[in-house]
Amino acid sequence: KMKIFENWLLDNNSKFPKLVMQKYDDEVRGVHAAEEIGPDESIIEIPLECLITVEMGKATDIGRAVLQSDLDLDAPKHVFLMLFMLIDRKNPTSHFKPYYDTLPPTLSNMPIFWSQEELALLEGSYLLVQVEERNTAIENDYKAICHLCPDFADISTLDEFKWARMCVCSRNFGIVV
C-alpha cells in the first residue's frame, strides 16, 4: 500500500527525492531522510491536487449544510476535512484512494480509543479529563451534524467519525495557497 501511495504521489508530480516512507505496524507510519538534506534545500513538493483541503469538505452537500447552519463545532476546519474524507473514501475510484489505503484501520494507540480498563490505569491523571472532554466534543459534533443532516449517519458511525477526527488531527497541516 505504501508503494502504491508513493507511485500515486510521483505520478501526480510530487517530488521527495531524499525521503523514504516506512510502515512500522498497522497503526504507525513514518517519513525519513534517506540521505543528508542541505540547508535551504527543498525537502518535498506535493501538488495541490494531492491535498485534501478544508474547501473540499465545505463543497460537499453536508459541508454546505454545516456552513449554512449555525452549528458550534469544536474544530470546524477539522470537521470539513473529516466530512470530505468520510464521504470520499466510500468511492472506490476516488482520486485519493491510494492515500486512504495507507491510513491505519484502527488507532488504538490514541487514548480516545482506549478501553475503560486501559484508562483506569491513568486514575488521578489529568489525561483522563482531557480524553473525556475530547470524546464528548467529538460526539457532540457528530450528533449535531446528524441532527442537521440525518443521512450522515448512513455515511459515518460515531466510531468512524472519531477515527476520521484522529486521522485529521494527527496528519493535518496548514498552508497558504
| pLDDT tens digits for range 84-111 | 999 999 999 999 999 999 998 888 889 9
- Domains located in the chain, CATH noted: 1-46 (no CATH), 51-171 (3.90.1410.10)
**HEC string for 25-40:** ECCEEEEEECCCCCCC
| pLDDT tens digits for range 128-172 | 999 999 999 999 999 999 999 999 999 999 999 999 999 999 888
Residue 87 to residue 38: CA distance in whole angstroms: 40
Q: Can you give the pLDDT at residue 23?
A: 83
| pTM for this prediction | 0.90
Sign of CA dihedral 69, 160, 103, 89: negative
| pLDDT tens digits for range 5-24 | 999 999 999 999 999 998 88
> Residues with Cβ < 8 Å from 143, sequence gap 6 or more?
none
| pLDDT tens digits for range 29-41 | 889 999 999 999 9
